[in-house]
Amino acid sequence: MTVAEPVIDPTSRTVGLTANSSKAGTVSGGGTYSKGSLITVKATASSGYVFESWTEGSTMVSQDASYSFNLGENDHYLLANFVQVMPDKLNQPADKTWLITFSRPVSTNELNSGKIYVATDVKGSNKVAALKIEAVAANNCQLSIKPPATNWISGQTYYLILEPGLQSAAGENLSIKTRMKFTIQ
């Protein structure tokens, strides 16, 4: 008995899609297509989340939830990156210290790892310098984030951001970027 070799269609290509969290949103448009086809993939965020970007490997390829591209000669495996968004905190005092409460103690090694920061833009590119991030002695599940010595700037909008990979004392990682917008009086 002879076993036939599988037949692979040399003209088709695969578009594989995943989301960085199954509860953060859904993706559509993946499948098998003819090479050279114009493909459109879509990411739809769940309540409490927003879409941030499509990445392929470590390369960001689009910030549009509906992304169209020419399939070309290669398979593509895209990741839809969603961000958990906490409710906005508006008109806060200039000396506001933020308390972040986690479900488990945070590793003290994480306090200055760059995975917790405040920025003046939604993407987190313009980080505020000289913040003081500390563990709260009375509650090992809390961190405090104190403003710079000059305080927060009146009328300014800020974003408190927690990056994926932020680690608990037990070695568990935060799986999804979390962001909170706040404004100063």
> What are the beta bridge partners of residue 12?
34
Residue 8 has pLDDT above 60, yes or no: no
Predicted local distance difference test score (pLDDT) of residue 56: 98
Model confidence at 109, pLDDT cuts 50, 70, 90, reads confident
Which of 2, 27, 4, 32 has the alpha carbon at shortest distance from 17?
27
* Tokens read off for 109: 């090694």
Residue 3 has pLDDT above 80, yes or no: no
Residue 159 has pLDDT above 90, yes or no: yes
For the segment 56-96, what is each residue's pLDDT rounded down to a tens digit?
999 999 999 999 999 999 999 999 999 999 999 999 999 99
Predicted local distance difference test score (pLDDT) of residue 161: 96
What is the distance between the alpha carbons of residues 39 and 166, in angstroms, rounded to a whole number? 35
What is the distance between the alpha carbons of residues 136 and 101, in angstroms, rounded to a whole number? 10
Average pLDDT (99-128) is 89
**36 φ, ψ to 5°?**
85, -5
**pTM of the predicted model as reported, rounded to 2 decimal places:** 0.85
Residue 50 has pLDDT above 60, yes or no: yes
Cβ–Cβ < 8 Å for 81, 126: no
Predicted local distance difference test score (pLDDT) of residue 144: 93
Q: Higher-confidence residue: 1 or 23?
A: 23
Burial label for 91, CB within 10 Å (0-12, 13-18, 19+), is exposed
* Tokens read off for 81: 């990156």
Predicted local distance difference test score (pLDDT) of residue 32: 95
Model confidence at 130, pLDDT cuts 50, 70, 90, reads confident
Model confidence at 10, pLDDT cuts 50, 70, 90, reads confident
Average pLDDT (21-37) is 96
